[in-house]
A and B are shown apart, each in its own frame.
Chain A
Amino acid sequence: MDFLTLFVLVPLLMLFGFLPCKNIRQIRTVAVVGSTILLGLAIALVVIFMSERAAGNTAEMLFTFDKVWFPTLNIHYSVGVDGISVVMLLLSSVIVFTGVFASWNMQPLTKEFFMWLILLALGVFGFFISIDLFTMLLFYEVALIPMYLLIGVWGTGKKEYSAMKLTLMLMGGSALMMVGIFGIYFNSDGGTGIYTFNLLEIAKNGIPIEAQRIFFPLTFVGFGVLGAMFPFHTWSPDGHASAPTAVSMLHAGVLMKLGGYGCFRIAVSLMPEAAHEQAWIFLCLTGISVVYGAFGAVFQKDLKYINAYSSVSHCGLVLFAILMLNETAMTGAVMQMLSHGLMTALFFALIGMIYGRTHTRDIREMGGLMRIMPFLSVAYVIAGLASLGLPGFSGFVSEMMIFVGSFQHTDMFHRVFTIIACSSIVITAVYILRVVGKILFGEVQDEHHKKLTDATWFERLAVVTLIISIAGIGMYPSFVADMIRSSLGAMVNW
């Protein structure tokens, strides 16, 4: 048994652990124990990974484990991590951990809710540890389908519509991606006649440029749908707004990162030549995502919609940076995935907590919450400041790196787009400060709100964990950045 498989095994055991649970206390116990173990595993992984690297282990993937699964098609169960996947695993485990606390009082059908949630987490963890395209696809789809029921059953608003839209659009993305994967597979032999699904071997063998030209856009768009690339982002606002708190957290925080990670690890790094040729098309689209998402957020009145559009903008920035194809911007992209994941999870957690009290998410119906629930309000301000890129928080580091990296391109096209994307920072400030000013300060809009209470202990725990992570990365970004950069080495020398 190898170390990384534990990330899949623990959620699996949790699923079985939920089965005999009789009441909500037992369910919570299983969920807390399991997610704490996962968080512990992720932290241990970071420590071991860094000490291995420090000891001079320069292998591309560490902790690899490989077992043949379907010999005729050369499908393996093959796991391994580099710096980027370690960061993603850390992010996922933090969000699963906090997500459990954010759904502490989930009613009704508590057991089913947690089982679907953990199944989703299983898919996410499996995706990040895999280095075999088949298992990646398998885990990717495992992570998608629980969303339907999580939103459809436990969501709010026009949940059925949102759930269906989200599922079908993401499955559409995965259909394109699957064709891309077949294309990669049947061109992966490098002249030897032995096809492979293994990422490292494919990268070594190289794919003929004619095939790349066809399958790069398919793969990139396939993952781009999940990364909320314009014009395939429309599932995101509806889906996030209708989902229950923990699901929004997990979805915006982790699942959308699957898209960015897939674009990076499969589309761009396996088909670099085509990426170079066609980057401009997708740069235009992601540039639109960045600005359009930000503008969209300005005009929304529902807190969750504001944050969902802000996610479109920020995730667009991830894809935008990946397409810059240089080291600084790509490091920034991975940092942005981490930073946005934590930040948006914090936002959704806070919105869920506020909504749970005020029963409204309309910013026109709230005001003066700072006096009523100081803890939640302060946390909201912190999240907002992190989101608009205040130095000291993770958002600043990642956006800085992205824009510096983008500006390294000396041609007109890249520079113009960098400047356009930069403008989103200003728009972000507009919609964040507008919300903060409207709902936290000013007069109390509703007399009933005065009787509301502040956060309970489990809510505080979730919020504090996320704030510590955001601030920690903001203060000391270099260990994450180094981990990411050392893994990029092989990929960006084009």
Chain B
Amino acid sequence: MDLSNYLMMKQEMSLMVVFLILIVYDLFASEKGRQYFQPLACLLFLAHTIFGFFPQVTGTSFSGMYVANDAEISMKNIMNIGVLLILLQSNGWLSKPEASFKRGEFTMLTLLTLFGMYLMVSSGNFILFYIGLETASLPMAALAAFDKYKNNSAEAGAKYIFNAVFSSACLLFGLSFLYGACGTFYFEDLSTAIQSTPLLVMSLVFISVGLFFKISLVPFHFWTPDVYQGAPTTVTGYLSTISKGAGVFALMVILYKVFGNMSYEWINMLWWIVVITITVGNLFAMRQTNLKRFMAFSSVSQAGYIALAVLAGTPQGMGSVMYYILVYIFSNLAIFGVISAIENKSGKTDMADYNGLYKTNPKLALVMMMGLFSLGGIPPLAGFFSKFFVFTAAAQQGQYLLVLIALLNTIISLYYYLLIVKAMFINPNEAPVENFKSDGYMKISLVVCMIGLMVVGFASGIYEYLNSVGFGM
């Protein structure tokens, strides 16, 4: 037994330490001590996040079962930043009487899903990958159903679990074909064993479909709006950013590493999926009146943009995907932060309730606007840069038509993002959301998001680094 094997799992281990400390604290703390739970969780997770940035041993361990390379470590760091923001944003909601006694559970479940995503991201074997996927999915259903006495939330949980199970079934079905044809589950061995046979095409399709469910690409997105609307807003934020980011990354790694020989097939498949996803997501988003549903469709179309760079199959494409996910985390969490702050205060989530928000809560309206503009790809916000790099990666492979379709779709997306901006800044309202102060945690998280949106684009070092760690086919 070589201990250096475990050194590679530094982030997993430190996450486990945080997890165990919190679970023990939650069990044994007195009623008075419990009010320090949230600051403790945030601080410990902050320490974990910072720890992740320290240099780390790279390589493979457990004979290729677990892989730690720079791209995967960076991806985990990006996810950590997102989860930290989520923990900060959850405080307002968890302070309410109906949720406060479950504070500890929320943190545990979140960290547990994160652990599953870590395994998904750095697996080198489909068995470990599947374990990671399930570890990430099951607690997620519990999170979606967290407000279990609300019908919507319970429904969201049920829908999520059914879809997760169904997608797992697809994935396992595909894996069985793969094992039957190649006799191994190790990515390394598969990459050379795979040839483009009909059986393996079937396997590719089923494995991809399993993951498409996860990242809600059209036509596997039907669960998204209901779950996003029903789940507590913080959980929706988590689902739409971290969970989706990890899914896309895992998909990318599998397509590059395992199905590299079948790139012709999956590029064609993904081409159509991307076009349909972006278009359908955008068209449906236009008709929504509930802001959470609206963001669900917006995130469907955003997933299409991320997948667009996966198509490129180059190191630059992988760098762009990670960069896009980072920017997307900041933008989406800025928006979900505002939604959840307002929902906690007034219980309102309809778009019409946001009319005249700028008059009463100018700062929140400003953060929301920046998040929306970033999603729409408006400079000088980071979203412009991430969109540009994603398109560059696709255009480099000569996918000009796809880039054109995607760009024309950004106009549609800009239309509905502007509808919310219009609601906040222009529309009059008799009874707008009254002025209120959010708690300190929420403020910190929104400020971090804003700084992220402004700085991540201009600081070229971030993109350059992600680009340098990316790998292609």
Contact = CB atoms under 8 A, between A and B. Distances in A.
Interface in A296-314: none
A73 B411 CA distance: 25
Interface in B389-442: 389, 391-392, 395-396, 400, 403-404, 407-408, 410-411, 414-415, 418, 421-422, 425-426
B365 to A, nearest CB: 11
12 contacts: A139-B379, A145-B373, A160-B422, A168-B411, A171-B414, A175-B407, A176-B407, A178-B391, A178-B403, A179-B404, A182-B400, A186-B396
Contact of A175 (B373, B410, B425, B426): B410
A374 interface: no
A370 interface: no
A138 interface: yes
Interface string B164-192: 00000000000000000000000000000
A208 interface: no
Interface of B: 316, 373, 378-380, 384, 388-389, 391-392, 395-396, 400, 403-404, 407-408, 410-411, 414-415, 418, 421-422, 425-426, 460, 463-464, 467-468
Interface residues of A, number: 32
Interface string A129-169: 00000100111011001001100110000001000100110
Contacts of A139: 379
A167 B400 contact: no
A214 B404 CA distance: 13
A356 interface: no
Contacts of A141: 378-379, 384
A71 B464 CA distance: 8
Contact of A149 (B380, B388, B425): B425
Interface of A: 69-73, 75, 134, 137-139, 141-142, 145, 148-149, 152-153, 160, 164, 167-168, 171-172, 175-176, 178-179, 182-183, 185-186, 214
A179 B379 contact: no
A73 B391 CA distance: 12
Contacts of A152: 422, 425-426
A139 B378 CA distance: 10
B460 A70 contact: yes
A152 to B, nearest CB: 5
B388 A134 contact: yes
A172 B395 CA distance: 18
Given A138-B379, A160-B422, A182-B403, A175 B411 contact: yes
Contact of B391 (A167, A168, A182, A214): A182
Contacts of A75: 460
Contacts of A179: 395, 400, 403-404, 407
Given A72-B464, A178-B407, 8 more contacts: A139-B379, A142-B380, A148-B421, A149-B426, A168-B414, A179-B400, A182-B392, A183-B400
Contacts of B411: 168, 171-172, 175
B187 to A, nearest CB: 26
Contacts of B426: 149, 152-153, 160
Most interface-central of B384, B415, B460 (chain A CB within 10 A)? B460
A175 B378 CA distance: 12
B420 to A, nearest CB: 12
Sort A-B residue pairs by CB-CB distance and give the 10 closest, nearest first.
A175-B407, A182-B395, A138-B379, A70-B460, A152-B426, A179-B404, A141-B379, A145-B378, A171-B411, A172-B411
Contacts of A69: 460
B457 to A, nearest CB: 9
A178 B391 CA distance: 9
Contacts of B463: 70, 72
A376 B426 CA distance: 32
A167 B404 contact: no
Contacts of A148: 418, 421
